[in-house]
Amino acid sequence: MSLAKKYLKLEILTVSAVIALSAVTAIAQRAPSGNYESDKKVKLSGIVTRIDWVNPSAFFTVNVKDGTGMISNWAIEIGNPLDLQRDGWKPTALHIGDTVNVEGIPARGPRRQAMATSVVLAKTGAKVFVASNKPRAKVASQPVPRWPDGHPRLGPAPGKKGYWGTPSSTVLVETTNATIPMNRDGLLANIADSDKVAPFQPWAKALYEYRQRTLFKDDPYNRCMPPGGARHFQNPYGFQFIEQPEIGRILLLLGGGDRNWRIIYTDGRPVGHKDELVLTYYGTSVGKWEGDTLVVDTVGFNEKFWFSNGGLPHTEALHLTERFTRSDFGTLRYQVTVDDTQTYTRPWTGGWTIQWVPDEEIQEYFCEENAESTFVR
């Protein structure tokens, strides 16, 4: 077969109907909403010229011939390697020189780039990739593991493995307004709903709306800065508690940053004052048990990150009170009260649940700041 015959026509379809919000969320964990035009689809056929299995997002490139005979090179983003492995994709499923049919969502602007929703080998018709967001199976009911003093174990029982992942929500809004339509990145369906998200001060509301309107283009997380504040409980890569009661601390190992961690001191020390602390992405935390709930106070945040998906602003005055309750073996209830008098008119509270992932460890995840630029056209 000649090379020319391997190239098929490029077709871009604009979907006139508004895509349901749930359809948008199906890809949200794979890429920020701002990078792709979720109301458009692209169909491409071409020859694979490069495969890069990299964090934060793997991609391959294809040479595509359009209707006029022009050949152009497209970058096809296929998502985070950890997600891909979970969905059954293997890097060996595709080879340079393969002819593939790709369906996906085109990038905004002039870039020849798309987020794949389906990749099929043209020769055999075999599907090598179909985007999915399959929910994890519920963990079988069993008693909450406990320490000898009666406190629930937030980590696995001795001899077992497991971590917390798959949050029920990846956005933070005030609990009383939990049904505001937005996608998993926190992009509002209607910007007029911004007042319902949180009790913003005027400048914070204006900045929040600016970030929404500019589709999170300035989000530090997209440049591999740590997901500080409540945000690390929103990402799909999970976290793990390492409880060390003998030395009065709990380590939080975070799967969504570059091997990031938090220390929660449970030895009775005061949380301190931000003016006496080195300000960091995760702040300084102290915790105590109130019944079966671990209550964690954190101050000392810097202003170099967004503390939640969606672009919620904060200042160095941010004080988070987090409540972790293992309500059953497979469920962790997370509730966070945001107190930042320089940004919000009053303290406010939101939360979600997080599912136990048994018999697995959080996987290594490294964000590469320059990875995206390698496939920007």
Residues 214-243 that bind other proteins (CB under 8 A): 214, 217-218, 220, 223, 225
Decide: 93 and 128 in contact? Cβ < 8 Å: yes
d(CA 137, CA 326): 18
| Per-position x/- string for 297-316, each x denoting binding to other proteins as judged by CB under 8 A, each - no binding | ------xxxx------xxxx
Q: Which of residues 344 and 356 has its CB atom nearest to other proteins in the complex?
A: 344
Of 167 and 313, nearer to other proteins (C-beta) is 313
Query: Contact between 161 and other proteins (CB under 8 A)?
Result: no
Residues linked to residue 73 through DSSP beta bridges, in sequence order: 63
Binding-site size for other proteins (CB under 8 A) equals 26
**3-class state of residue 212 by DSSP:** helix
Per the CB < 8 A criterion, the answer to whether 294 and 153 are in contact is: no
Give Cα 265 distance to the centre of its chain.
27
Q: How far is the CB of 5 from other proteins (least distance, A)?
A: 45
Site string for other proteins, 196-215 (x = CB under 8 A): -----xxx-xxx--xx--x-
Least Å from the CB of residue 215 to other proteins? 11
CB of 315 to other proteins, least distance (A): 4
Query: Beta-carbon neighbour count of residue 2 at 10 Å?
Result: 6
For other proteins, which is the closer residue by CB, 191 or 242? 191
User: DSSP per residue over 85-146, as a string?
Assistant: HHTT--GGG--TT-EEEEEEEEBSTT--EEEEEEEEETTT--EEEE---PPPPPPPP-PPPB
* Cβ-proximal residues to 68 (8 Å cutoff; 6+ apart), any chain: none
The contact pattern for other proteins, residues 311-350, with x = CB under 8 A and - = no contact, is --xxxxx-----------------------xxx-------
Pick 115 or 197: Cβ nearer other proteins: 197
Rounded CA separation 100/102 (Å):
6
Find the shortest distance in angstroms from Cβ 62 to other proteins.
Answer: 31
The binding site for other proteins (CB under 8 A) comprises 201-203, 205-207, 210-211, 214, 217-218, 220, 223, 225, 303-306, 313-317, 341-343
